[in-house]
Amino acid sequence: MTYLRYTPDIEQPVADEQATIDGIIKGMTQQSETVEAREHHAVRASHAKSSACVTGELTIASNLPPELAQGLFATPGTHPVAVRFAQGPGETLGDRVSTHRGMAIKIFDVPGEKLPGHGADTQDFVLATGTTFPSGTAAGFLRDGTVIGKSTGLPEGVKSAVSSTMRNLNKALHAFGTESAFADFFGHPYSHPLADSYFSQAPIRFGDYVAKLGAVPASDAQRALSEWRLDPHVDEDGFRHAAVDFFREHDVVFELKAQLWADAERQPIEDASVDWPVSVSPYRTVATLRLLRQDAYGPERVRYFDDMMTFRPAHSLKAHRPLGSVMRARLQVYQALSAFRHRQNRIAEENAAGIEQIPA
Ligand code: HEM
């Protein structure tokens, strides 16, 4: 198998990209203002409702083959990590509205040259369920995001109805052997957050190469949850309660995997809606994430994760620069929207440069 190498010219921004990014910032800020007025607190413009705020360790495998021993993964060893699991929308909804969800990972004690503006020895990987980002590009997100933004004002009952329609649509599409990542936004199955797999959806530089990342549940106890489904009529915070209950009894393990870029035609850099076929290049394990049994929702910890800390693609080694249209937008949008919520809440943004800053 030959993998394609990273060079700066594999990214091909369109001419008016900055105007699109400015439009996304404006739209998401307006959306956040609407939510803030309702919730009396400024929350994340995306992935607002956390379900677990935990710490643990990432162990980089030794003896990785040269094409995988790249960037952070070039040096075997163990790093402390902080991980935030959250539901997708940028508002605090009841779990009847079942959405895609996210897993934000901050890796500490990462030496090496960072992207401009990132001053700490940390590397963030901000992942979500589904292997693709349905809007594909920043322009696509601005178009679709407007629709999502409009839904912010709708009553929860309407979102819940959309959610069940989307779930049925997903089932129908599955029956035809395809699936709609878009339908996942409001139609994710009522599955257990610790039994889901999470993906970067868009590519990053992987040292000399390029890759998409995935985090896949790797303990028997998590695999045993694969058929678990929430009854949302019983508990509107059921995903959080399920995650916290599980963390009380079990260690949680994810394998972190890299899918190397091997075919410029079938694995485009600029369009994140295209699933990179695993027949062209599979996801291969590069590290193991261990989150030992713990209190996953201690009040001090949650306040720190939800209101002070930020995870973002721009917190990165140069060797793992996020790539493509969606990623270039994320490099600017997270910073702007995080600044907005911290300003509104009058809470200083924490750099979280070391694991010791995280409340026990
Ligand atoms: C154009 C595309 C995207 C835009 C504009 C966008 C925007 C945002 C914004 C504004 C936040 C809140 C940041 C903060 O206040 O700290 C956020 C959080 C988040 N996003 Fe995105 N996003 C995009 C694509 C993605 C993709 C592709 C993924 C995953 C594959 C993703 C996963 C997440 C997650 C997990 C969080 C929560 C991070 C945390 O826990 O702090 N987003 N996004």
Q: What pLDDT sits at residue 30?
A: 94
Give distance in angstroms: CA of 300 to centre of ligand 1: 23
Q: What pLDDT sits at residue 189?
A: 85
Contact 327, 203 (CB under 8 A): yes
Q: Residue ranges of the chain with pLDDT lower than 50?
A: 172-180, 182-183
Helix axes 156-175, 138-151, angle to 10 degrees: 130
Which atom of ligand 1 has the smallest separation from the CA of 145? 5
pLDDT, tens digit, for every residue of 84-124?
999 999 999 998 887 889 999 999 999 999 999 999 999 99
Tell me which residue range forms the domain holding 291. 8-353
Which atom of ligand 1 has the smallest separation from the CA of 199? 30
Domain presence at residue 177: yes
Domain presence at residue 276: yes
Domain presence at residue 46: yes
Q: How many residues does the chain have?
A: 360
Q: What pLDDT sits at residue 99?
A: 84
The count of structural domains within the chain is: 1
Domain presence at residue 60: yes
Ligand 1 lining (C-beta closer than 6 Å): 24, 28, 44-47, 84, 86, 102, 104, 126-128, 133, 138, 141, 200-202, 310-311, 326, 329-330, 333-334, 337-338, 341
3 phi/psi in degrees, rounded to 5: -105, 150
Choose the residue to mutate in 17, 43, 46 for probing ligand 1, maximizing ligand atoms within 8 Å of C-beta: 46
Domain presence at residue 37: yes
214 phi/psi in degrees, rounded to 5: -145, 150
Number of H helices, E strands in the chain: 8, 9
Domain presence at residue 3: no
Contacts of 73 (CB under 8 A, 6+ apart): 60, 61, 64, 206, 207, 258, 286, 287
Domain presence at residue 36: yes
Give distance in angstroms: CA of 334 to centre of ligand 1: 7
Distance (Å, rounded) from C-alpha 309 to C-alpha 46?
Answer: 14
Domain presence at residue 134: yes
Give the other-Cβ count within 10 Å of 279's Cβ: 7
**CATH code of the domain covering residue 232:** 2.40.180.10
pLDDT, tens digit, for every residue of 47-63?
999 999 999 999 999 99
